[in-house]
């Protein structure tokens, strides 16, 4: 099955992995989320997809979903949204760092598995790219 179709069909049919709770919520927005509701929905959807893929050890799909969520944060480009966007980016990078660390453990050392080597390389390059663009 086509990977993009798999991701799309999961996204379209998923009840949020967080049981109705979004990872990113607006608590004290001066505009009540008027500028970002659609962006925030997409960021949460990508983050949720990433978590689903991570739980199922589909690391490459999880990394791609986090990358998509990170990219979407740059569409929150109004000055009033910049602090929230930075917080979202930092949280996404932390999640990717956790995946990177787990893949490092799985792909190195005495009990290493070569199955995870390509995912580790992808996590490493994606993490380096996101860290460069965090601000």
Q: Are 96 and 56 in contact (CB under 8 A)?
A: no
Burial class (CB in 10 A: 0-12, 13-18, 19+), 126: buried
Count CA atoms closer than 13 A to 99's CA, side-chain side: 35
Per-residue model confidence (pLDDT) at position 3: 43
Q: Are 50 and 95 in contact (CB under 8 A)?
A: yes
Per-residue model confidence (pLDDT) at position 69: 96
**Per-residue confidence in pLDDT tens, the chain, 135 aa:** 344 433 433 444 344 444 456 777 766 777 777 777 888 899 999 999 999 999 999 999 999 999 999 999 999 888 888 888 898 999 999 999 999 999 999 888 777 778 889 999 999 999 999 999 887
Could you tell me the pTM of the whole model? 0.80
Per-residue model confidence (pLDDT) at position 112: 75
Q: Are 66 and 46 in contact (CB under 8 A)?
A: yes
CA distance 26 to 71: 19
CA distance 110 to 103: 14
Domain segments of the chain: what residues?
34-132
CA distance 50 to 124: 16
């Amino acid at each position: 099955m086509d990977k993009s179709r798999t991701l799309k069909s999961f996204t379209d049919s998923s009840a949020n992995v967080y049981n109705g709770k979004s990872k990113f919520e607006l608590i004290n927005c001066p505009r009540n989320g008027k500028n970002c509701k659609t962006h925030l929905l997409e960021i949460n959807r990508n983050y949720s997809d990433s978590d689903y893929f991570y739980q199922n050890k589909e690391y490459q799909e999880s990394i791609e979903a986090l990358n998509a969520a990170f990219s979407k944060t740059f569409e929150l480009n109004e000055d009033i949204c910049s602090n929230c966007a930075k917080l979202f980016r930092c949280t996404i990078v932390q999640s990717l760092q956790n995946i990177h660390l787990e893949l490092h453990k799985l792909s190195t050392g005495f009990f290493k598995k070569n199955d995870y080597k390509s995912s580790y390389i992808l996590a490493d390059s994606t993490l380096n790219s996101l860290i460069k663009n965090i601000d």
